[in-house]
Structure 1
Amino acid sequence: MTDGQERAWTDLAPRYVIDAPRDDAATSVRPGAAITPSDVWGRDAPLVVEIGSGQGHAIIHAASSAPETDFLAIEVFTAGLARTMLGAEKAGVENLRLVEANAPEVLEHLLPPASVDELWVFFPDPWHKNKHNKRRLLTPEFATLAAGAVRDGGVLRLATDWEQYARQMRDVLDAAPEFARSFEGEWADRFPGRVLTAFERKGARAGRAIRDLAYVRRHRG
């Protein structure tokens, strides 16, 4: 990391980073490590969680635009989290927290059941080579974990610039009994709360269509 990013971890991590109890791996989350969101953010407010927040451009913009909402960025890359903290400090964002951990374990162990109002997965790694497709995040197992974390009536929002992955996402979530489409036709409209990032610009420059999806968490029986 750069000197500035190292400073972020020294000076800003106590303010922004949730110290998740670990299992065996450095980015794991120990079972039974659930947080209480009202304790972490110091209030009761809607919670938006972004998986794969990268350098934080989307979630910092969202958090600064909606101070009445709490935001959690999940990322495994330390430098990206450091950049996010620096950006949050510059923007004066107080309603954002970060966790360095594997997203499925955050959904399963760190977040209480039905605690998330919106879950965002924007431009996840497409693992576009066929032999690597099995590494993709969006699987039936992920849909089950997401359904556990999202409250009844909450929303799962997704976006990708890889057509084949977009279709896989749609197939997985259409088949998930806990979720229902919140759009008509083939694809959802572009989510207006998603700021235009480098990933989206890169995909558009390459001539790839940006595909949005949105699903509502059905009410638990």
Structure 2
Amino acid sequence: MKKIGMLGGMSWESSLEYYRMMNEEVKTILGGTHSANCLLYSFDFQQIERLQHEGKWDELTRIMVEEAMNLKKAGANLIVICTNTMHLVAPSIEAATSLPVLHIADVTGHAIKQENLKKVALLGTRFTMESSFYRDLLKERYEIELMIPNEEDRQCIHDIIYDELIFGILTEASRLAYTRIIESLQADGAEGVILGCTEIPLLIQQQHVSIPLFDTTYLHATAAVRKALEQ
């Protein structure tokens, strides 16, 4: 098994899920007492969140690359960024470390393609929804069209993530807000929805809506294990 280098702590609530899912996937595949061969660097999310909202992406890139290099020095064979938003700097990490970065949008696109869907909606932070990395990758590699919510709904989704979900706060009011937004996107033609923030699956699961959900945390974590087990 290759050693997985995890960049986590963004937030630790979802990094906890990554660690659990990776170990469960290893156990499912290999059985016995096998568990994941991994390294986790966990950021102080206060610093990351502040730099995100200040728009200091050059500084974020520097910090992320530095810790990815430390994972490489510690023996990591591949890098997993345990959050959607910071895949904005994935190309810089891959270039600096010369290690493969398992891209969360790539594994998500593969899952959507397997379901033969052509048009999906994306929920996530404003940084994720309003950037092009998901849209471009899904279009170029999988011929999938991406939709995002309107301005007001994007702000609602973003605020719930940063005010509640990263603190582990799950409320019925927020769940209803998300399901309303998903139903609106479905009415506009969305055939499925990407839960493009690794905290969103803590709040919304498949039983809450009538169209397919793509849990990026689960897809990314289990794909990392399969990648690590490749010969």
TM-score w.r.t. the length of structure 1 is 0.36
Q: Whose strand fraction is larger, Structure 1's or Structure 2's?
A: 1
Q: Which has the higher contact order (CA 8 A, sep 6+)?
A: 2
Compare the two structures and name the one with the higher helix fraction. Answer: 2
Q: Please, what TM-score do these two structures have when normalized by structure 2?
A: 0.35
